Structure 1
Amino acid sequence: MKDFGKRVKRINKHHRKLSNGYITSVNHDGLIIAKVRRSGPRFPWKGIALCFAAFFVFKGFLLSQLGETTYNERVVSLQQGTVIEQAGAYAMSADPVTVMISEQISSVLR
């Protein structure tokens, strides 16, 4: 009876979790299985990756349009500013990814 009580508790716990939402999937042998839907906030990894990609494309576009000397002059002028401007200069400095994207944009626009 003790094992039966544990099994009933486990089944009831699983049913309570399923009541908050579930996803059904079909097993390899055709059995339909209900899995508990994950609850709670999830971290938006895709959104953050998209923001980083857009930022690098923006930097590459600026570098290709302004030219390397003008772009670097503006970054240097930011480095002499306030702490926030210095942080912006660090973020906007030309890195290898930005230079590569800039070259790709320049080759497409020509």
Structure 2
Amino acid sequence: MSVRVRRIYEPPEPDDGLRVLVDRLWPRGLAKDAAHVDEWPKGLTPSAELRKWYHAGEGSYEEFRRRYEAELDAPEAAGLLDGLRRSAREGRVTLLTASKTPGESHARVLAELLSG
């Protein structure tokens, strides 16, 4: 499987493969045609409550990950995750996020779940 995480503000690259926005909200200041997004599965994103909790600095990345993985067990999210796994088996999948720290974000959790 070939999955990677990139910031959506970086220019698209020819080897990105399927470009999937994994943020619930559209990134500020970015035109939709400039983003070159192929899919935007909002059902895979952390809930608003979890996102606010994590961004408020109330918990660790490990606790965020645990709570987010529990949310991904819900039927809609699990189905979307399975679909992305199939896509990753067929070619590269690039998960796009506006997060300033993609290495400690939900995008990293998704990438690891898809690659594992």
TM category, shorter: under 0.3
What TM-score comes out, normalization by structure 2 length?
0.26
What TM-score comes out, normalization by structure 1 length?
0.26
Structure number having the greater helix percentage: 1
Greater length-normalized contact order (CA 8 Å, ≥ 6 residues apart) = 2
Higher CA-based Rg = 1
